[in-house]
Amino acid sequence: MHPTPELQTERLVLRRWRPDDRPPFARLNADPRVVEFLPAPLSRSESDALADRIEAHFERHGFGLWAVEVPGVTPFAGFVGLAVPRIEAHFTPCVEIGWRLDAEHWNRGYATEAARAALAFGFETLQLAEIVSFTVEGNLRSRRVMEKIGMTRSPSDDFDHPVLPEGHTLRRHVLYRSARPGISCEDVPVAE
């Protein structure tokens, strides 16, 4: 597997994870603001297990959910990146773009700036034909980021998250798609 490159933007560095990212990652995973649209806050060991899975994903696929550093502001603000979701749904297999940032650093455009770089990496370096993103219907912040990076939603793609039981308030999800420039969103193949 080729080494994952670091991505640099005007204000951010998207890099592989370091051991000292784990305490701040656990803090943000325990913050009710951050986990509002996740089933539950994570304990320290659950947060570390997630960091382990993120690392394993980089090793397996050569890309993943990068740690986001804001030089001069914070060494670790959260993650933004690309991942192969483990769920089965009408749009899988696929590559998704996702994000989770410390609430102390929200609304400064960091997620959007990092996501644009991750999207460009997916299309230009990985040569993906399509990248998707999904979230709980009511997660307007996340949906706003999807819209700002040019992704589009078709209501016919809405779906019930397969790991959440019927009646769960977070079950209904919206799906956004983005196709590589020059490629139509219809019937694009996804390479794993």
How far is it, in rounded angstroms, from Cα 123 to Cα 177?
13
Residue 139 interacts with ligand COA (CB under 6 A): yes or no: yes
How far is it, in rounded angstroms, from Cα 192 to Cα 190?
6
Task: State the binding string over 19-58 for ligand COA (x if CB under 6 A, else -).
Answer: ---------------x--x---------------------
Residue 174 interacts with ligand COA (CB under 6 A): yes or no: no
Q: What is the dihedral of CA 58, 49, 177, 142, to 10 degrees?
A: -130
* DSSP run (H or E) holding 52: helix 44-61
Residue 178 interacts with ligand COA (CB under 6 A): yes or no: no
Which one of 110-118, 124-132, 151-159, 176-184 is the stretch in contact with ligand COA (CB under 6 A)? 110-118
Give the interface size with ligand COA as a residue count (CB under 6 A): 20
Is residue 111 within 8 Å of 145, Cβ to Cβ? yes
- Residues at the contact surface with ligand COA, assessed by CB under 6 A: 34, 37, 98-101, 106-112, 135, 139-142, 144-145
